């Protein structure tokens, strides 16, 4: 054989074998959360992970630190997972590259080290910057490359998802990103001077149970309320279908036709437990984070008693998943909203009413008693009577940033409005004391509004409220001679004006523990 022909054939065979082998080899891969432009959490030991061939050695290098791991088989995933730990790293504004080396080399560029916050919840967290008040003015100056954005796609999933096909972006044109998240990150970056990473994972109209971990939803009380209820609906329907089919078969054997209709399928819950955690949180656990800001509750407002357990357990579940300790969790109280009833303000304020939205706000305020490292911000002054999505989001983000600066970063600042502390009945009046009065209590207007008082009959009437020189408040009403309790801002759409001099609104509260009123009986249709 011609030597040249033999050589060409040998080369061709080698190329073919190389091609076949490379087709069998899986490249080292990183999840989407590790992309160009990302922010890595400062001052923590960080977990890096990805996939490769089984037993492949993978080395990760960043800012002079290296770590190597062997990929291990993780069924049912066809690829093997590897995981290493590096850090801690100091915050810095100079970009660096993350290099991952296995059988192939992966480089992630323009990486910063700073603080990473998750922005999660339902529609008021999802509400985009481009629709917020003064959006045009803000977008003109929103080119802030030291802030990085990662927006998680909407996804319901029955099982935890392993990856997301999305990447970090520099904050250049953030109009589609969460307005609350953006304003929070903007103020935090300005105050701290370090890069800020914001992970936006939100979905309008969603209840808290969809965001909870599977272990949380497996708790006995929550399983009874959610999973067992669904199972019962399915089992009852299955039993009804079997019974119908058996009876229909007997009728047919007698030469007759069934006259009763088949059973109707039950109306199943729109959202099942953990679906959004699985699809929109699990894929980036345990990426290093500083904390979470949370704006959710509208979808659970008619179940405040249940939220008393569900919300703290959701927080505990996220913290357990990250194995990063009790990281800060900052929540937004529900904004005022009259549920689209189109009532005039005079109708709303005619008589004090009970309110499921007020009860949900109460749970949000008291969650700090159930979990540590928690704070909430008040939005009584930025709601819209007939719009569940108020567009004034800058104050919300700003207050969350204040809360973070005080709770997380230890700044000695006034970060909260007045919070009810205790009451003392003094004859025909009730004296109220507050925490977080700052440099003093003030009424924005001629006199305080939104206070109601009741006697032993538990019938609330509007009250007169007066700020005292020692920053207490005296509450009374001419028709209530023996007062028992006081409420403030206890309404779907509270009309209130108590602030501290730092400009932060007081949280709605009640001093009673009366149960919610029984639902009105349903009138039979004529």
Q: Which domains, ranges and CATH numbers included, belong to the chain?
A: 20-226+272-415 (3.40.50.1110), 419-510 (no CATH)
| CA 413 – CA 405 distance, rounded (Å) | 8
| CA 342 – CA 348 distance, rounded (Å) | 10
Given this model, what pLDDT does residue 23 score? 39
Q: Which tens digits make up the pLDDT trace of 323-339?
A: 999 999 999 999 999 99
Given this model, what pLDDT does residue 526 score? 56
Given this model, what pLDDT does residue 510 score? 98
Given this model, what pLDDT does residue 25 score? 57
Given this model, what pLDDT does residue 19 score? 35
Given this model, what pLDDT does residue 264 score? 92
Q: Which tens digits make up the pLDDT trace of 41-81?
A: 999 999 999 999 999 999 999 999 999 999 998 766 667 89
Q: Rounded to 5 degrees, what angle do the CA atoms 161, 166, 167 make? A: 130
pTM as predicted: 0.91
| CA 187 – CA 35 distance, rounded (Å) | 25
Given this model, what pLDDT does residue 522 score? 60
Residues of the chain with pLDDT under 50: 1-24
Q: Which two tokens stand for residue 511?
A: 């001093």
SS3 assignment for 19-61? HHHHHHCCCCECCCCCCCCCEEECCCCEEEEEEECCCCEEEEE
Which residue(s) pair with 420 in the sheet? 434
| CA 130 – CA 127 distance, rounded (Å) | 9
Q: Where is 430: in which H helix or E strand? A: strand 429-435
Which DSSP symbol is given to 503? S
């Amino acid at each position: 054989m011609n030597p040249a022909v033999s050589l060409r054939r040998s080369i061709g065979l080698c190329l073919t074998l190389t091609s076949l082998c490379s087709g069998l080899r899986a490249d080292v891969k990183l999840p989407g959360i590790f992309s160009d432009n990302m922010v890595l959490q400062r001052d923590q030991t960080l977990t890096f992970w990805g996939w490769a061939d089984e037993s492949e050695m993978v080395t990760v290098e960043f800012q002079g630190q290296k770590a190597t791991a062997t990929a291990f088989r993780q069924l049912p995933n066809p690829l093997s997972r590897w995981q290493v730990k590096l850090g801690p790293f100091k915050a810095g504004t100079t970009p660096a590259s993350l290099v991952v080396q296995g059988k192939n080399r992966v480089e992630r560029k323009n990486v910063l080290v700073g603080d990473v916050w998750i922005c999660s919840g339902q529609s008021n967290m999802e509400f985009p910057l481009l629709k917020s008040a003064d959006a045009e003015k803000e977008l003109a100056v929103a080119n802030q490359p030291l802030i990085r954005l990662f927006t998680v796609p909407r996804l319901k999933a029955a099982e935890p998802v392993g990856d997301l096909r999305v990447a970090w972006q520099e904050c250049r044109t953030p109009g589609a990103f969460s307005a609350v998240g953006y304003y929070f990150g903007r103020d935090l970056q300005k105050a701290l001077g370090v890069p800020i990473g914001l992970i936006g994972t939100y979905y309008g109209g969603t209840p808290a149970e969809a965001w909870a971990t599977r272990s949380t939803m497996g708790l006995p009380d929550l399983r009874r309320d959610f999973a067992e209820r669904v199972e019962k609906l399915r089992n009852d329907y299955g039993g009804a279908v079997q019974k119908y089919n058996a009876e229909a078969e007997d009728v047919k054997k007698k030469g007759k036709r069934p006259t009763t209709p088949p059973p109707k399928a039950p109306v199943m819950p729109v959202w099942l437990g953990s679906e959004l955690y699985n699809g929109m949180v699990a894929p980036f656990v345990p990426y290093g984070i500083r904390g979470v800001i949370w704006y959710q509750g509208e979808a659970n407002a008619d179940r405040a008693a249940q939220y008393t357990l569900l919300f703290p357990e959701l927080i505990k579940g996220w913290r357990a998943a990250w194995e990063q300790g009790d990281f800060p969790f900052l929540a937004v109280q529900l904004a005022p909203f009259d549920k689209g009833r189109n009532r005039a303000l005079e109708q709303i304020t005619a008589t004090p009413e009970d309110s499921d939205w007020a009860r949900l706000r109460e749970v949000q305020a008291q969650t700090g008693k159930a979990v540590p490292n928690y704070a909430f911000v008040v939005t009584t002054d930025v709601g819209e009577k007939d719009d569940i999505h108020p567009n004034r989001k800058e104050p919300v983000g700003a207050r969350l940033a204040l809360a973070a600066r005080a709770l997380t970063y230890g700044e000695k600042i006034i970060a909260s409005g007045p919070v009810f502390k205790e009451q003392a009945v003094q004859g025909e009046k009730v004296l109220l004391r507050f925490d977080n009065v700052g440099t003093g209590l003030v009424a924005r207007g001629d006199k305080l509004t939104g206070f109601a008082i009741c006697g032993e009959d538990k019938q609330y009437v509007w009250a007169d409220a007066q700020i005292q020189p020692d920053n207490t408040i005296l509450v009374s009403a001419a028709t209530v001679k023996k007062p028992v309790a006081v409420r403030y801002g206890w309404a779907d759409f509270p009309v209130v004006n108590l602030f501290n001099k730092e400009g932060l609104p007081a949280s709605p509260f009640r001093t009673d523990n009366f149960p919610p009123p029984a639902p009105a009986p349903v009138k039979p249709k004529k």
